[in-house]
Chains A and B, each alone.
Chain A
Amino acid sequence: MTNALEVEDLQKSYGDLDALKGVSLTVPEGSFFGLLGPNGAGKTTFINILVGLVRASGGDARVFGHDVEDDYRQARDRIGLAPQEFNVDRFFPIHEVLEHKAGYHGVPHDEAAERAERALKQVGIYDKRNTRFDWLSGGMKRRFMLARALVTDPDLLILDEPSAGVDVQLRRDLWDLVTELNERGTTVLLTTHYIEEAERLCDEVAILDRGRVVTVASPEELMDRGTDRVVVTLRDPPTSTAPLSAVLPGDDRIEDVSLEEGRLVVTARQGGLVAPDLVRELDRAGHEILDMEIKRTSLEEVFVDMTRHDEGDEDGRDDADGGASDDAPLETATVGGGEGSR
């Protein structure tokens, strides 16, 4: 299968500032790929190189096998971009803006008009078709950005922070539509600050930080790298962890055992898999378990941990592994229920 995107050692410098320091990525065709990173990580620079708005200082990028500079016309024709900024033609009503955009991609006028109508209906603003962009509400503007990306019927849909500043209902509508497109074969490249979106939608995510790819993995794999908390309430809790340590399985996934307000707290990687063994051993040792919670790490915690910088840390952290912080409220599971649902 052709890859939708193949990027090798992509670099971009603005004077002394290195915005991209050798990014390499592969996005398989048909996948839903997330690009996560804090502000200034280089996400938008990366995207803008793909569509020709920024020139790379080095490296290669290919869209469905077409080099973004040498074969720029073929590469750009495969891409639909919904950027963060509202860069829309203000002179024309929105249906004409869409017709023009389709026309630039070689779509004849009649078909362009049909596509514009379809795209406006898809995003739910068809009744505003004769309105100029400036007169749309904020949510409608965001919907229009998606319509403009869709009107060229792209094979690679790039969404740069598409749900920034939109309400919950609109966000759900957007994701339903994009998920449907992805299921029909459109490759989606998403950047977002809403980590839970990437967690819910993406097959694979790349975490970008200070111009470098920190890691590429599925959300599940990333969360497995974080540490979960298994919190057990015992009928007669001990006063120290010493007697408990003896009954706990010799599992190297367990990183810490403590007592907090009379409850046993086991910090472990893949806590959902550790929990059944823990229950079994506690039961075997005669402890009566009243309740148990598994506080699953989130992608957000893993993300924060991977992109955390110590003061004076110039290059940031390139280590792909690392434990997640353990103080955030997370999903819970009932006794024996395994991992919390995502």
Chain B
Amino acid sequence: MSGDAGAVDLTGFLTLTKREVLRFLRRPSNTFAPPFITNVLYFSVFGVILGERVGTITGVPYILFILPGLVVLGAVSNSFENASFSIFHGRWNEYIHEVLTSPLSYAGMVGAYVLAAATRGLLVGGLIAAIGWAIVSALFRPVPVEEPLYLVAFMLVITLLFASLGVIGGLAASDFDDLTVMNQFILRPLVFFGAVFYSLEDLTPLLRDVSLLNPMVYMVNGVRYGFLGVAEVDPRISLVVLAGMTAAAVAIDVLLFKRGYGLTD
């Protein structure tokens, strides 16, 4: 060993995390331009144009109501995409072998991929919040942050959760099309039916009960509680459940790395 095992693992973990973060920071046109343009459109079309007709939901202007959901949408999809793409691309071109043949522990490898992907999710989420803040503040009133600790806690948990799920996606994918399928046909429908653009109170009792099976509802609800201080589901329970899901997803990631799933012959 180049040093004691713990020091090697920490240095290796930090190196891999830095590598993963630099990979997306050095490509701002890939990382930040698409969510910037998409969310300017969302806020303009849904928030400003349609929002005028919708009026208020749960006592807040529609554009303000959808802001937390759009932040969640951008944060989780970027967390998932970053982890899944980075791992799958590394597998596809086999340069993930640089990591796999190193003395880095499996937990260290997973930790770096998850942390870097969650960082991307947080940055994109922050970008979307800034866009929303600029538009909402200009047209209506400043965007409140009623429960900042909850907001931070929910954002951390959901980005870590989707980064962890992205690791599984990156290991399971056998083609780039698989990544597209995961994102477009699983992730986005869950987000769109996760009460981003509507209130659960507007649904029939049956649809409301079905919606409560969608974990995205709790994420959007929790982030909305952080911004607006209003929640349709108890945020404390949501946070505990989501934190548990995140821990389980990370544990699965480590197990898959240890078993070489998608990585070794």
Interface residues of A (CB under 8 A from B): 14, 45, 48, 51-55, 72-74, 76-77, 79, 81, 83, 85, 87-92, 97, 99-101, 103-109, 112, 148, 152-153
Contact = CB atoms under 8 A, between A and B. Distances in A.
A106 B265 contact: no
A152 B15 CA distance: 14
Contact of A55 (B11, B19, B23, B265): B265
B2 A91 contact: no
B147 interface: no
B98 A104 contact: yes
Contact of B265 (A48, A92, A100, A107): A48
Interface stretch (B71-79, B102-110, B190-198, B207-215): B102-110
Interface string B16-58: 1011001100100000000000000000000000000000000
B127 interface: no
Interface residues of B, number: 33
A89 B2 contact: no
A130 to B, nearest CB: 14
Contact of A100 (B1, B19, B26, B260): B19
B97 interface: yes
B95 A106 contact: no
A77 B12 CA distance: 12
Given A14-B265, A87-B93, A91-B23, A106 B103 contact: yes
Contacts of B99: 104
9 contacts: A48-B265, A72-B103, A73-B9, A87-B93, A87-B98, A89-B98, A100-B16, A106-B7, A109-B15
B219 to A, nearest CB: 30
A106 B8 contact: yes
Given A103-B14, A106-B1, A106-B103, 16 more contacts: A48-B265, A52-B100, A55-B260, A74-B1, A77-B1, A79-B101, A81-B101, A83-B97, A87-B93, A87-B97, A92-B23, A104-B102, A104-B103, A106-B3, A106-B7, A112-B15
B204 interface: no
Contacts of B19: 89, 92, 100
B119 to A, nearest CB: 16
